[in-house]
Amino acid sequence: MKPETLNFFDKVYGVVKQIPYGRVTSYGAIAKYLGAARSARMVGYAMNNAHGKDVPAHRVVNRKGLLTGKHHFEGTNLMQQLLENEGVLVLENQIQNFETVFWDPSIALQKF
């Protein structure tokens, strides 16, 4: 597997797919892990194209733990439903105990 051959989007998907159950991460954390810390927006942009794929986009939020992308899911609270189903408490689009459920790919995948 040569990451260089993968598109930026594909790289994002690869990381997001590895987010453990009941955990979440931020766009910036993913971007930084991919060596594109300045391209956090591209991560979100990639998520926009992640529909129809095995990508748990609901586990990716912004640095504040806010569900900024919930409007891209079906309905108005699907993203929150999915997270709460995994044991992640969400209130007013804001993930509670964010620091506790936060999952940093640059740490968990440091050997990847």
Partner DNA sequence: CTCTTGACTGAGG
Partner DNA sequence: GCCTCAGCCAAGA
Instruction: Give 90's DSSP letter.
Output: E
Restricting to residues 59-88, which ones interact with DNA according to CB under 7 A?
Answer: 60, 62-64, 68-69, 72-73, 79
Let me know if 8 is exposed, middle or buried by CB neighbors in 10 A (0-12, 13-18, 19+).
middle
In contact, 3 and 35? CB cutoff 8 Å: no
Contact window for DNA (CB under 7 A) among 5-13, 83-91, 102-110: 5-13
Does position 39 bind DNA by CB under 7 A? yes
Does position 27 bind DNA by CB under 7 A? yes
Does position 42 bind DNA by CB under 7 A? yes
Instruction: Give 111's DSSP letter.
Output: T
Contact window for DNA (CB under 7 A) among 33-41, 81-89, 99-107: 33-41
